[in-house]
Amino acid sequence: MTRPDAADCRAISDFDLSRRNSLGLAARARYGAFVHEAQEIDALARFAGEVGLPFVVLGGGSNVVLHPEIDAVVAVLATRGRAVTGEADGDLLVTAQAGEDWPDFVQWTVAQGFGGIENLAGIPGTVGAAPVQNIGAYGIELADRFHSLTAYDRAERHWRVFRREDCRFRYRQSVFKDDPGRFVITEVTLALPGEWRPILGYAGLDSLDETVDPKTIMERVLALRGSKLPDWRVLGNAGSFFHNPVVSGAVADTIPGAPRYPQPDGTVKLSAGWLIESCGLKGHRVGDAGVYEKHALIIVNHGRATAHDISALAETIKSAVFERFGVTLQQEPLEIR
Ligand code: EPU
């Protein structure tokens, strides 16, 4: 077996990631490479093994907290391609490569006249990252439209196809998150409903008429997001910084006034944004890391925030919410160090 070296797999030393993360944190990796062909992953992973460093895959960098000096080989997935690939049980199958930009992909499906993922418009990140945290917004989540994906299994060193039941999708969770670093998702296929119906249950969409088309819903979703979520190109952020906590009904009853989202199993999902705002933390800052003024679930970078500032602010938030409400918040973005 040949021994891969940095040149074979086009790894660049002292690789700058400052423009590769939506929080806008200054960060460099010991080695990094852009992956344009999925097959390059194996050689890069082996190179990481040879130099004794962890192997980390980055998509759009929209759900990560990057530390300044990352002691790893970082692969930035830049594979492109999207197409209609078939039909299954009356649904239309569309396939995209992992490096495709998710918001562009949604716009493309809608421009073709295909409904199904318009409620997920505008979520920053790549197609390959979408299944990892089972992205969700405005009443649907990726799992609802998922057909299958291809991933490289680094433990078994072979390619695998995952069907929906293999992915163990839950609220912002999946098998890919349960076993971090093991699978590199390279291609995702969605099943867009043959008989499309609008999903208008969420506040802000409920004023739309049942005869609405996917394009109008997408535009409304983009407007809603624009009105409460900061654009990371203008003000660095990683979207929701914490999961919405799911607690027992008894715990929820101890928090009067909190918005409640009852779950089918009797538990109650609470709004982390509301809990944080109720602790008076909107606008609170540690260095240049701050709680967004318009939505308390978002941590923003006002300029030169570091991973250290972000973590210190996250800890302040978690302690305040725990002390006041007895609820533990779980961080959504992954720390890469
Ligand atoms: N709220 C407050 N104060 C705040 C923020 C929110 O009181 O500062 C209250 C709102 O008034 C509302 C409730 O919290 O009653 C829910 O707020 P919102 O509709 O903004 O949704 P969210 O629960 O904060 C979730 C997702 C978002 C997704 C929206 C829309 C999570 C962790 N976040 O946010 O996803 O866009 O719903 O569906 O589930 C993301 O994951 O990065 C993300 C942005």
Structure confidence by residue, pLDDT tens digits, 181-213: 999 999 999 999 999 999 999 999 999 999 999
User: In 172-204, which positions are buried (b, 16+ CB within 10 angstroms) versus exposed (e)?
Assistant: bebbbbeeeeebbbbbbbbbbeeebebbbeeee
Same domain, 176 and 273: no
Mean pLDDT along residues 68-97 = 97
CA of 290 to the centre of ligand 1 (A): 17
The residue from 224, 257, 290 where one domain ends is: 224
The pLDDT value recorded for residue 2 is 53
Domain limit, last residue, from 186, 202, 224: 224
Alpha carbon of 297 to ligand 1 centroid (Å): 7
Q: Are both 101 and 206 inside the same structural domain?
A: yes
Could you tell me whether strands 64-66 and 334-336 are parallel, antiparallel, or unpaired per DSSP bridges? parallel
> Ligand 1 center to residue 49 CA distance, Å?
40
Same domain? 89 vs 66: no
CA pair distance 95, 90, nearest whole angstrom: 16
Is the CB of 318 within 6 Å of ligand 1? no
When the pLDDT of each residue in the chain is averaged and rounded to a whole number, the result is: 96
Mutation choice for ligand 1 from 271, 295, 299, CB with most ligand atoms inside 8 A: 271
**What is the pLDDT, as a whole number, of residue 1?**
46
pLDDT above 90 coverage of the chain, percent? 96
Q: Can you give the pLDDT at residue 205?
A: 98
- Do 303 and 267 lie in one domain? The reply is yes
Residues 242 and 212 in one domain: no
Looking at the fold, whether 220 and 89 belong to one and the same domain comes out as yes
Same domain (yes/no): 113, 193: yes
Q: How many domains does the chain have?
A: 3
CATH number at residue 259: 3.90.78.10
Q: Based on the domain organization, do 86 and 61 belong to the same domain?
A: no
CB 62 near ligand 1, within 6 Å: no
Q: Is the domain of 151 the same as that of 219?
A: yes
Report CA(278)–ligand 1 centroid distance (Å).
14
Which residues constitute the domain of residue 98? 82-224
Q: What local confidence, expressed as pLDDT, does residue 184 receive?
A: 97
Alpha-carbon Rg of the chain, whole angstroms? 20
Could you tell me how many helices (H) and strands (E) the chain has, helices first? 7, 20
Nearest to 169 by CA among 195, 148, 197: 148
**Per-residue model confidence (pLDDT) at position 161:** 98
Same domain, 94 and 188: yes
**Once rounded to an integer, what is the mean pLDDT over residues 211-239?**
97
Residue nearest (by alpha carbon) to ligand 1 atom 5: 273
Mean pLDDT of 158-170: 97
The answer, yes or no, to whether residue 3 has pLDDT greater than 80, is no
Lowest-confidence region among 36-40, 185-189, 285-289:
36-40
**Cα separation, 248 vs 250, whole angstroms:** 5
Name which residue leads in pLDDT, 102 or 7.
102
Position in ligand 1 atom list of the atom nearest CA 259: 15
Please work out whether the CB of residue 243 comes within 6 Å of at least one atom of ligand 1.
yes
Give me ligand 1 centre to Cα 15, in Å: 34
Kindly state whether residues 120 and 175 are assigned to the same domain.
Answer: yes
Determine contact, residues 202/139, Cβ cutoff 8 Å.
yes
What is the set of active-site residues? 172, 240, 332
141 C-alpha vs ligand 1 centroid, how far in Å? Answer: 14
3-state SS track over 135-165: CEECCEEHHHHEEEEEEEECCCCEEEEEEHH
Q: What is the CATH number of the domain that holds 70?
A: 3.30.43.10
Both 215 and 273 in a single domain?
A: no
Average the pLDDT over 66-83 and give the result.
98
Tell me the C-alpha distance between 180 and 132, whole Å. Answer: 9
Q: Which ligand 1 atom sits nearest the alpha carbon of residue 243? A: 32
Indicate which CATH number applies to the domain containing 105.
Answer: 3.30.465.10
For atom 30 of ligand 1, which residue has the closest CA?
137
Task: Specify the residue with its C-alpha closest to ligand 1, atom 37.
Answer: 137
- Ligand 1 contact via 297 beta carbon (within 6 Å): yes
In the chain, % of residues over pLDDT 70: 99
Final residue of a structural domain among 159, 189, 224: 224
In short, whether 278's Cβ falls inside 6 Å of ligand 1 is no
Q: What is the mean pLDDT of residues 320-337?
A: 97
